[in-house]
Structure 1
Amino acid sequence: MARPRQFDRDQALLQAINVFCEKGFAAASTDELMKAMGLSRQSMYNAFGDKRELYVEAMKQYQANSITDLVWRLGKDATPMESLYNTLLSFASRTEREGSAGCMAVNAVCEFGLSDAELNELHLSAGQTLREALAHTLTRGVEMDEVPPSTDIQSACDFLLSTLNGMKVSAKGGMTTDQLKAVAGFAVNALKTPR
C-alpha cells in the first residue's frame, strides 16, 4: 500500500514558483527546487513529474493567480481610469510585497521566446484574458468620458500590456517603486481625456 503524501502540495508548488521567478527554468536546479519545496527527489517526481512538468504546472498556477488579481483590480474602483491607475500602482509596488524576483511569465518569454509551444499557449491565453479586461475597462472609460472616443481600444490595450511587461522587466532590473509608480501615472494620463 502506498504511503499517503505528507506535505501540502499547494505550498510546495508556491515554493517552486518562487524559485522559478528568481532563477528561471534553466538556472533553477532540481536540488534548489527540492530544498525550497521541502521534498525528496522521489516525492517531487511522484507529485509533479520531472522539472519541466513542475515548471508548466507552476506557470499555470502563477498565471491564474496573477491574471485573477489583475482582472479583479480592474473592476473594483468607482471609475474605470481610477481602477486602471490603482491596478498599475499595485503592480508598481509588487516588488515591495513580493521581492524583486520578477515575473515568472515575462521571465519565460525572455528565456524561451517562441520556442516552446506549450508555454506560448499559456502566455497567449493569459494575455487574452487580461486584454479583454483592459478593453472592457477602456470601453467603460470612453462611455464615462474618461477616455477620448477616438481611442483605438486594441492599440491602447497593446500599449498597456507592453507597459505592464516593461514594468516587470524594469523592476527586476532595479527600477525603484517610485519610478514604477511614475510610469503607471504616465501611462494612465496618456490615455485620459484632456480636461
Structure 2
Amino acid sequence: MARPPKFDREEALRSAMHLFWERGFEGTSVNDLTEAMGISAPSLYAAFGDKQALYDAAVDLYELTAVVPPALEAPTAREVFEQMLDRAVKLYTRPNHPRGCFVIADPQLRQRRAVGRAAIADRLRRAQRAGDLAREVNVEALTDYMDTVLRGLSAKARDGASRKQLRAAADLALQAWPTPTKGRVPSSPR
C-alpha cells in the first residue's frame, strides 16, 4: 500500500505555480521545483505526474483567481472592462506573488490566452445583441484593445511599475471605451 504524501499538496502546488510564473515552463527544472516545493522528485511524480502535468495544475490554480473569467460576469460590457482593469491592477502587483500575469507571461500558454480572448469577444457580442454595446463597434478590434491593455499592464508590472502607475494607465484606457449611440437605452445582457 502506498504511503500518503508527507507534504501539503496545495502549498506545494502554490510554490510550483509561483516558480513557473516567475521563470516559465522552459526556465524551470524539476530540480528547481523539488527545491521550491520542499519535496523529492519521486514525491513530485507520485503526487502530480510529470512536469507538464504539474505545470497544467499550476496554471489551473492560477486561473481560479485570474483577471478575465470573473469579470465576464459583470452586467455590462463596460463593467466587464472596468472589472478586468481593477483586477489586473490589484493582482499584477500583489505582494508575495510574482508580478504580472502568469498566462500572459509564458509563451507556452498561447492556447490559454486564445481561449481568454475568445471569451472576451463572445461576451462583447452578447452585449452587442442586448443593445449594451453599439452595433457599429467592431467587436474584434475592441477585444484586441482590451487584450492589448491587459498585456501591457502585465508587462509594466513585471518591469516593476507600481500599483499607482498601473491604476493611472488603466483609468486612461477606460476613457477610450466606446460611447453608446445617442438616444439608445441599453437593455440588460442575457
TM-score (norm 1): 0.75
Deviation (angstroms), 1:148: 4.5
* 1:19 aligned partner, one-letter code: L
* 2:154 aligned partner, one-letter code: K
| Other-structure match for 1:42 | 42
Aligned counterparts, 1:1-195, within 5 A: 1-63=1-63, 65-67=64-66, 70-76=68-74, 79-98=76-95, 99-109=97-107, 112=108, 119-136=109-126, 138-139=127-128, 143-144=131-132, 147-193=133-179
Change (3 A) 1:192 1:125: closer
Matched residue SS, 1:33: helix
| Other-structure match for 1:116 | none
Whether the aligned pair in 2 keeps the contact of 1:96 and 1:177 (CA below 8 Å) is yes
State the Cα RMSD in Å: 2.8
CA distance in structure 1 between the aligned counterparts of 2:83 and 2:53, rounded to whole angstroms: 35
CA distance in structure 2 between the aligned counterparts of 1:95 and 1:6, rounded to whole angstroms: 32
CA distance in structure 1 between the aligned counterparts of 2:69 and 2:53, rounded to whole angstroms: 27
Instruction: Identify unmatched segments of 5+ residues in structure 1.
Output: 113-118
Whether the aligned pair in 2 keeps the contact of 1:24 and 1:107 (CA below 8 Å) is yes
Structure with more helix by fraction:
1
> Once the two structures are superposed, what CA deviation does each residue of 1:130-177 show, in whole Å capped at 9, x if it has no partner?
4323544x538x824xx5442111210111011111211111012222
Instruction: Identify unmatched segments of 5+ residues in structure 2.
Output: 183-190
TM-score (norm 2): 0.77
**Equivalent pairs, count:** 180
> Once the two structures are superposed, what CA deviation does each residue of 1:20-64 show, in whole Å capped at 9, x if it has no partner?
11122233232331132222111001122332332233224333x
